[in-house]
A and B are shown apart, each in its own frame.
Chain A
Amino acid sequence: MTATVEQPTAPPGARKVTARSLTETVFRVREISIAGCLVLLVLGTWAANHRFLSEQGIKDLLLNASILILLAVGQSVVVLTRNIDLSVGSVVGLSAFACGKFVSGTDRNAVLALLLGIGVGALCGLVSGLLVSFGRVPSLVVTLGMLYIIQGTDYWWAHGQQINAADVPASVLDLGSGSVLGVPYLALIAVAVLAAASYYLRSYRGGRELYAIGSSPEAARLAGIPIRRRILAAYVFSGAVAGFAGALWLARFGTVVADNAHGWELTVVSAVVVGGVAITGGTGSVWGAALGALLLTTVGSVLVVLKVDSFWQSAITGALLLAAISVDRIVTLRMTSALRKRNARHVHQV
């Protein structure tokens, strides 16, 4: 193993390696820059108000971010393939209500509720995925339609009814409020899903193929990648994660009404975009998307802590989103042209 690491560095290969490591740094910098913003934001706020980094403060931050992080992970897998899933907000709503209905007034196990949530979500994802991959129709239209269909079904089923925390069994509520060594279960779950998705995307053939499909569908088709099956799988994953998030929503809040997570689809897409996953597919990582979700949540908390008028919250979030994608774009353009110049010079010297 060590031998293979030490092996390379023949002269022509060396040039290639430096160029590649620079590119790699650029891509790593994308996540580093978001993380840097996050650290600055947190430290700045902490300087202004020390209570922000109290144990309770951090716990609240993690709890608030966990569900959004989960959804961002699911969404980025779909966005990588150059598609989009606008139905996630309504899937969370439907799954939260289904789980609430299932456990309320009983002492059913939390695990069953989670499985039910995942099942409901995966089913919704399956329908969207089939329409997109086998119907070959634009994903924006299909998932916008699914948003209405799922939301309508949820409203129709709930019929103004509400699930109350008092009826939800303790095992479910414990999942939402409990913690290990001060870290909430929800945050641990989010990180576990994040790590698993990241590992799959990085190290498995299926994961790499999702990037290939997003970068160039035509090339992916010619390379014999089963595009339809991969896209279908991405949607089922996104749906299952959203359903899971719905079950966790019930665990976290206990109270569930029909329009839970209404409008969240755009927040999730924002998080993914801020996190450096290109909406045109093929680039980005789930870590970036999760950092994007954490950043958006933190901005919300910071504005509260700094006592900024709540009316400003949405305006500031929107401005930050625009700034983030613009800066990212400009940096990428600069880097690409710098790299091109560098490589041109090398060629010249050779």
Chain B
Amino acid sequence: MSTKSDLSRFLRWDVAVGILLVAVFATGAGTTEGFATTGNLSFALNDIAEVAIIALPMTLLVVAGEIDLSVASMLGLASAVSGKLWESGWAFETIVPVVLAIGVVGGLLNGWLVTRVGLPSLAVTIGTLTLYRGLASVALGSNAVTDFPETYARWTSDTNTVLGFLPYPFALFIVLAAVTGVVLHATGFGRSLFATGAQEEAAYFSGIRVKRIKLLLFVLTGLLSAFAGIVFTLRYGSARADNGQGFEMLVIASVLLGGVDFDGGKGTLGGAIAGVLLIGLLKNLLILNDVANEVQVIVTGLLLVASVLTPRVIAAALERRHRRAAAAV
């Protein structure tokens, strides 16, 4: 009996992704020169900082049974507005709260349309994906603003680190991840997210304020996407309306790869983070080995398909064996 429960714990997908992550790291360190150096790892971690930051609220949303496709457009809008305001002479200290407020408003719009009007989040956020990206190009056109001062840009550089290897954006991600992890897995609020995702009606009738919670999650996602927009802008030293185009797919791929169930109600933040890191490290490893960009794209796709297919195949196989054993008795 105990061996079986150990086995099923081992077969949990998020644990498997964690093991895969370690395997990729070990393979990289063993086969690829320059992979396991602090310089390279700092670079690799910094390179996924924005995706990682947005993946945190996205995990909460998916657990609660919703999705937000507008995150990358919000990143672009935040970047474009930062650039526009900087160009017109605003101080960076004023730009940041303004941009974060835009993120909150964008999240409120998503959340309002989903919870009050009662529209499916997939349809709503395809609309706001188009809208926010459009507003970004209205704000900045096809210009790029690049003259951000060294004092701010330095903060996001991968050579400027905490503890010798953690770039600031990624260190910040770790802090946010710790808070999110505690909220999701150790508080009543976190449990109510799982309840909402698993059975919304039942959650509602057991006194969970389902709509208010979802609205809050959309606002949080908007806020952190806007914040990721500021980080992205400083890291590349370039504000453009098309910054982060296509990131929404990458964020969702990472979260789902980490075993968060798209149907809601299941998943762990650790799994989602392992998913983000796996995609990031694999990409870095493939680049170091001069593997073409096209192959990286294919690998991401295969991983994603495998991530949803494997647990079901294993579950089906276990069930069949179980049934056969029961029949034999």
Contacts and interface: CB of A to CB of B under 8 A. Distances in A.
Contact of A156 (B123, B292, B300): B292
Contacts of B113: 322, 326
A152 B130 contact: no
A325 B123 contact: yes
Is chain B's interface secondary structure helix, strand, loop, or mixed overall? helix
Interface in B299-329: 299-305, 307-309, 312-313
A231 to B, nearest CB: 16
Contact of A145 (B128, B137, B302): B302
A318 B295 contact: no
A330 interface: yes
A51 interface: no
A321 B126 contact: yes
A329 B297 contact: no
A131 B309 contact: yes
Nearest to B249: A144
A144 B131 contact: no
A298 to B, nearest CB: 16
B129 A266 contact: yes
A120 B205 CA distance: 49
A279 interface: yes
B122 interface: yes
A39 to B, nearest CB: 23
A137 interface: yes
B130 A318 contact: yes
B131 A318 contact: yes
A152 B298 contact: yes
A8 to B, nearest CB: 36
B64 interface: no
Interface string B212-255: 00000000000000000000000000000100001001001100
Contacts of A330: 117
Interface in B254-271: 256, 261-263
A273 interface: yes
Interface residues of B, number: 52
Nearest to A262: B246
A322 B127 contact: yes
A279 B302 contact: no
Interface string A319-336: 101100110011001000
A150 B122 CA distance: 23
Interface stretch (A16-24, A42-50, A97-105, A309-317): A309-317
Interface string B55-83: 00000000000010100000000000000
A141 to B, nearest CB: 5
A151 interface: yes
Contact of A318 (B128, B261, B298): B128
B298 A313 contact: no
B117 A329 contact: yes
A155 B119 contact: no
Contact of B127 (A131, A135, A146, A318): A318
B294 interface: yes
Q: Which of A138, A142, A313, A318 has the most CB of B within 10 A?
A: A318
A164 B113 CA distance: 45
Nearest to A280: B120
B305 A131 contact: yes
B178 interface: no
Given A147-B249, A156-B294, A321-B126, A315 B135 contact: yes
Is chain A's interface secondary structure helix, strand, loop, or mixed overall? helix
A241 B49 CA distance: 39
Contacts of B261: 138
Contacts of A151: 297, 301
A313 B135 CA distance: 9
B22 interface: no
Interface in A148-168: 148-153, 155-156, 159
A148 B304 contact: yes
Nearest to B133: A314
A137 B295 CA distance: 24
A140 B264 CA distance: 13
A146 B301 contact: yes
Nearest to B309: A135
Nearest to B262: A138
Nearest to A326: B117
A156 B134 contact: no
Contacts of A131: 305, 309
Contacts of A232: none
A273 B298 contact: no
Given A138-B262, A156-B298, A325 B124 contact: yes
A162 to B, nearest CB: 15
B141 interface: yes
B301 A147 contact: yes
B96 to A, nearest CB: 24
Contacts of B138: 309, 311-312, 315
Interface string A249-280: 00000000000000100100110010000011
Contact of B134 (A144, A148, A316): A316
A313 B263 CA distance: 33
A136 interface: yes
B312 A145 contact: no
A314 B130 contact: yes
26 contacts: A84-B122, A135-B313, A137-B308, A138-B263, A140-B262, A141-B305, A141-B308, A142-B305, A144-B249, A148-B249, A148-B304, A150-B301, A151-B301, A152-B296, A266-B126, A269-B126, A279-B122, A279-B123, A280-B120, A313-B134, A315-B137, A317-B134, A318-B128, A318-B130, A318-B134, A333-B118
Given A141-B305, A149-B305, A322-B131, 6 more contacts: A135-B308, A140-B262, A141-B256, A145-B303, A153-B298, A325-B127
Interface of B: 67, 69, 113, 117-120, 122-124, 126-135, 137-138, 141-142, 241, 246, 249, 252-253, 256, 261-263, 292-305, 307-309, 312-313
What are the 10 closest A-B residue pairs judged by CB atoms, nearest first? Answer: A315-B134, A318-B131, A148-B301, A314-B134, A318-B130, A152-B298, A152-B297, A149-B301, A145-B304, A156-B294
